[in-house]
């Protein structure tokens, strides 16, 4: 007997860049009206950044929840300092089980309460996934380099009730370092960065010396230059048991991106033409088939 | 507080070289895709590993087996078989990255010491505490992202032994959190145990100079007479805002000698040397030099200053013939 297709959800990932306050507030005001189901808030990349103050974040969360969105608080991926542990603990404690763990420190601190296992936890097999579910994971965001075949295998054997989310749109978060590459590119020390990353709302594109857009510098994070775009692959993702598609915020055309994914997920039959990428590097989707992430299926 | 020296053994001759030159422990991997540094011609068969364990144990050195990739459902069985093999051989510790494998090892071999691989990416005491509580991990190898001060603070908050990198190639990214290599080539440290793999490298001579490509992506271009480096993708030259620079890092090696006294005083248990892909001759030289450094430092502790000639001899063995303190020094960040 054919199972009726479960409705797939759309999630807006955490904002990975340093936008100015008003731009961020406007963005989240738009998300209240956007056809998305889940919005991740908070800082994942750099503990020095303050996109919004605590009160602003609270108001944004209230507005999103009033608009019917599920709000999840994301936490830092690379936690080094005691102050960063304290910030993570405060977010986890205040989230009422709606937090995304991106480091085992958050799993340890939040032990027992429900959480989202974020894309920066290394989950590559059933045993590790089961272990996180025992710790309270109710949703798992797959690491970006995991092939869809592996996600499907883990999907088949997943513990009951676990949702699976995949990074479906955006410049891929690939690496974290102690070093701030944005500051380095401007000969500034990290401790005196002047928040120079504020000038790059989609990061700084790094080109090879023969002009291929290759990577993106975003503070201590390195991303792909190409945008991973899995909109044309929604059918395969659904068949693999994926429940949620994560769309990573970008500064332009995000409404059109959401619209195209909504149409694809709802399978309205209208083949919505996807907008051309506004960022250098075009689209990529190689990871899905276990190839180099930079590649794109013909 | 006495610092231990932990040295790489990519092959049996390298293991002997490390043991003969004063390594307190060596780490090795079995052949197959179950460990980082999965290069052709490297690593141990079961009988070679048995010979290595005997050789090391007879001379008072310990042997750690590294299984530091994250197995997928299709390689899971190979990974657990590797754990079974290591346990049979009576090795002194397993170095694991994957939490699922740690659960397997802790359940099946509760008396076998577990070390947290650098690929576990545990950069704070809480993350380390997770692995201690869940699996009884006894030692953690720290990723190359913490300053010496941060290492000292972390040690105050954990009962787990701390091992840090002292010499060898410099990972610029937090280990276990880097997918740059798979983005460019499809193969990564987490999945296949390789970074910027040789099979994806192509050298070409062009009018613009010698060029190094990784899966066709231009990593660097060298002017005539300029020394060319292996195209590790985070150490290439790229264009950023109309400047061409080593945007992530230069081809250089990590050498922690300058902070060795600080690390010793802060309670670091062991210094690790990177380089299982290196020749026995290299392992012998580096082990001998670091043995001397650690002995001198262990005697003099906080007052020790590394001798210039020792630094010079190590620099001669280093990538790019230069060294950096990397993340140990705040100004590197």
Cβ separation B73–A144 shorter than 8 A: no
Q: Which of residues 108-167 of A touch B (CB under 8 A)?
A: 108-109, 120, 122, 124-132, 143-145, 150, 153-154
Residue matched to tokens 């075949």: A149
Nearest-CA distance A32 → chain B (Å): 32
> Is A192 in the B-facing interface, judged by CB distances under 8 Å?
no
Cβ separation B247–A217 shorter than 8 A: yes
Spell out the domain ranges in chain B.
4-170+252-332, 180-245
How confident is the model over A266-290, as a mean pLDDT?
87
ipTM for the whole complex:
0.96
Nearest to B184 among A82, A210, A294 (CB): A294
Among A47, A200, A209, pick the best mutation site for testing chain B contact (most B Cβ within 10 A): A209
Mean pLDDT value across chain A: 95
List phi, psi (to 5°) of A214.
Answer: -120, -60
Cβ separation A128–B239 shorter than 8 A: no
Q: Which residues of chain A have a CB within 8 Å of the CB of B36?
A: none
Residue ranges, chain B, pLDDT below 50 = none
Q: How many CA atoms lie within 13 A of A201 on its CB side?
A: 15
Cα–chain center distance at B7: 9
Architecture label for domain B4-170+252-332: Alpha-Beta Barrel (3.20)
CB pairs under 8 A between A and B: 205
Q: Which residue of B has its CA nearest to A294?
A: B183
> Is B76 in the A-facing interface, judged by CB distances under 8 Å?
yes
pLDDT digits (tens, 9 = 90+) for A2-22: 444 678 999 999 999 999 999
Nearest-CA distance B166 → chain A (Å): 17
CB burial readout A239-248, b (16+ within 10 A) else e? ebbbbbbbbb
pLDDT digits (tens, 9 = 90+) for A215-257: 999 999 999 999 999 999 999 999 999 999 999 999 999 999 9
Nearest to B100 among A131, A174, A291 (CB): A131
Nearest to A79 among B123, B173, B221 (CB): B123
What pLDDT is stored for residue B97 in this prediction?
A: 98
> Is B173 in the A-facing interface, judged by CB distances under 8 Å?
yes
> Is A179 in the B-facing interface, judged by CB distances under 8 Å?
yes
Cβ separation A125–B73 shorter than 8 A: yes
Q: Which tokens sit at A82? A: 């005691």
Q: Which residue of B has its CA nearest to A126?
A: B73
What pLDDT is stored for residue B34 in this prediction?
A: 63
Q: Which residues of chain A have a CB within 8 Å of the CB of B330?
A: 191
| Cα separation, A153 vs B76, whole angstroms | 13
> Is B252 in the A-facing interface, judged by CB distances under 8 Å?
no
Cβ separation B333–A178 shorter than 8 A: yes
> Is B218 in the A-facing interface, judged by CB distances under 8 Å?
yes
Architecture label for domain A9-171+228-276: Alpha-Beta Barrel (3.20)
How confident is the model over A134-149, as a mean pLDDT?
98
pLDDT digits (tens, 9 = 90+) for A35-78: 999 999 999 999 999 999 999 999 999 999 999 999 999 999 99
- Closest Cα to residue A18, out of A169, A221, A164? A221
> Is A185 in the B-facing interface, judged by CB distances under 8 Å?
yes
Cβ separation A78–B178 shorter than 8 A: no
Cβ separation A175–B178 shorter than 8 A: yes
Cβ separation B333–A179 shorter than 8 A: yes
Nearest to B72 among A82, A124, A208 (CB): A124
pLDDT digits (tens, 9 = 90+) for B102-135: 999 999 999 999 999 999 999 999 999 999 999 9
Q: Which residues of chain B have a CB within 8 Å of the CB of A84?
A: 124
Instruction: For residue A91, give the H/E element and its range.
Output: helix A82-94
Cβ separation A78–B174 shorter than 8 A: yes
Check residue A46 and report its DSSP letter. Answer: -
| Cα separation, B63 vs B84, whole angstroms | 15
Q: What angle do CA B325, B327, B328 make, to 5 degrees?
A: 60
Cβ separation B247–A77 shorter than 8 A: no
Among A46, A75, A76, A80, pick the best mutation site for testing chain B contact (most B Cβ within 10 A): A80
Q: Which residues of chain A have a CB within 8 Å of the CB of B244?
A: 209
DSSP-assigned letters across all residues of B194-216: -SS-GGGEEEEEETTEEEEEETT
Instruction: For residue B89, give the H/E element and its range.
Output: helix B76-89
Check residue A65 and report its DSSP letter. Answer: H
Residue matched to tokens 């290599």: B181
Spell out the domain ranges in chain A.
9-171+228-276
What pLDDT is stored for residue A271 in this prediction?
A: 64
Cβ separation A206–B134 shorter than 8 A: no
How confident is the model over A119-140, as a mean pLDDT?
98
- Label residue A161 left, alpha or beta by phi (over 0 means left) and psi (-120 to 50 means alpha): left
What pLDDT is stored for residue B33 in this prediction?
A: 60
pLDDT digits (tens, 9 = 90+) for A164-195: 999 999 999 999 999 999 999 999 999 999 99
- Closest Cα to residue A218, out of A234, A207, A202, A229? A202
List phi, psi (to 5°) of A115.
Answer: -155, 170
Q: Which of residues 35-74 of B touch A (CB under 8 A)?
A: 70-73
Q: Which residues of chain A have a CB within 8 Å of the CB of B104?
A: 127
Residue matched to tokens 């404690």: A93
Nearest to B126 among A109, A191, A215 (CB): A109
Q: Which residues of chain B have a CB within 8 Å of the CB of A205?
A: 240
SS3 of residue A253 by DSSP: coil
């Amino acid at each position: 007997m054919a199972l009726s297709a479960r409705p797939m959800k759309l999630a807006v990932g955490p904002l990975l860049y340093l936008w100015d306050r008003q731009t961020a507030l406007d963005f989240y005001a738009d998300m209240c009206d956007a056809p998305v189901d889940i919005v991740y808030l908070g800082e994942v990349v750099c503990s020095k950044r303050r996109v919004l103050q605590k009160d602003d974040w609270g108001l944004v969360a209230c507005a999103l929840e009033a608009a019917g969105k599920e709000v999840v608080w994301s936490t830092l991926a690379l936690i080094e300092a005691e102050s960063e542990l304290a910030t993570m603990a405060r977010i986890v404690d205040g989230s009422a089980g709606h937090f995304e763990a991106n480091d085992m420190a958050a799993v340890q601190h939040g032990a027992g309460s429900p959480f989202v296992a974020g894309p920066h936890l290394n989950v590559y097999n059933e045993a590790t996934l089961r272990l996180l579910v025992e710790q309270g994971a109710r949703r798992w965001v797959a690491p970006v380099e995991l092939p869809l075949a592996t996600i499907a295998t883990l999907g088949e054997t997943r513990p009951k009730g676990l949702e699976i989310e995949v990074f479906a749109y955006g410049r891929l978060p690939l690496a974290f370092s102690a070093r701030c590459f944005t500051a380095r590119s401007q000969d500034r020390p990290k401790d005196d960065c002047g928040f120079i990353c504020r000038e790059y709302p989609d990061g700084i594109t790094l080109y090879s010396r023969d002009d291929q857009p290759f990577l993106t510098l975003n503070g201590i994070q390195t991303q792909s230059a190409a945008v991973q775009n899995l909109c044309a692959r929604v059918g395969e993702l659904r068949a693999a048991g994926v429940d949620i598609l994560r769309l990573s915020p970008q500064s332009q055309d995000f409404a059109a991106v959401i619209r195209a994914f909504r149409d694809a997920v709802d399978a309205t039959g209208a083949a919505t033409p996807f907008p051309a990428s506004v960022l250098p590097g075009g689209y990529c989707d190689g990871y899905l088939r276990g190839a180099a992430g930079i590649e794109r299926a013909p | 507080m006495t610092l231990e020296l932990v040295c790489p053994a990519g092959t049996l001759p390298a293991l002997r070289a490390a043991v003969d030159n004063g390594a307190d422990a060596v780490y090795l991997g079995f052949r197959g895709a179950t460990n980082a540094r999965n290069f052709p011609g490297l690593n141990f068969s079961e009988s070679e590993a048995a010979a290595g364990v005997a050789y090391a144990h007879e001379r008072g050195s310990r042997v750690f087996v590294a299984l530091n990739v994250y197995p997928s459902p299709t390689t899971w069985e190979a990974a657990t078989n590797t754990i079974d093999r290591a346990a049979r051989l009576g090795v002194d510790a397993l170095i694991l990255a994957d939490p699922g494998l740690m659960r397997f090892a802790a359940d099946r071999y509760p008396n076998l010491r577990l070390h947290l691989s650098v690929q576990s990416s545990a950069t704070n005491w809480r993350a380390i505490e997770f692995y201690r509580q869940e699996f009884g991990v006894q030692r953690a190898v720290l990723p190359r992202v913490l300053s010496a001060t941060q290492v000292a603070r972390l040690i105050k908050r954990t009962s787990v032994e701390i091992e840090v990198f002292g010499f060898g190639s410099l990972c610029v990214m937090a280990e276990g959190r880097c997918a740059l290599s798979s983005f460019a080539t499809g193969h990564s440290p987490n999945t296949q145990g390789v970074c910027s793999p040789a099979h994806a490298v192509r050298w070409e001579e062009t009018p613009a100079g010698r060029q190094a490509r990784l899966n066709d992506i231009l990593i660097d271009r060298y002017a005539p007479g300029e020394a060319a480096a292996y195209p590790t993708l985070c150490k290439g030259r790229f264009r950023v805002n109309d400047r061409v620079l080593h945007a992530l890092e230069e081809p250089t090696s990590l050498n922690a000698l300058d902070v060795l006294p600080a690390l010793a005083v802060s309670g670091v248990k062991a210094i690790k040397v990177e380089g299982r892909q290196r020749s026995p001759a290299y392992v012998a030289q580096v082990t001998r030099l670091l043995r001397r450094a650690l002995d001198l430092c262990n005697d003099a502790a906080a007052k020790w200053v590394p001798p210039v000639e020792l630094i010079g001899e190590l620099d001669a063995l280093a990538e790019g013939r230069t060294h950096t303190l990397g993340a140990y020094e705040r100004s590197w960040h």
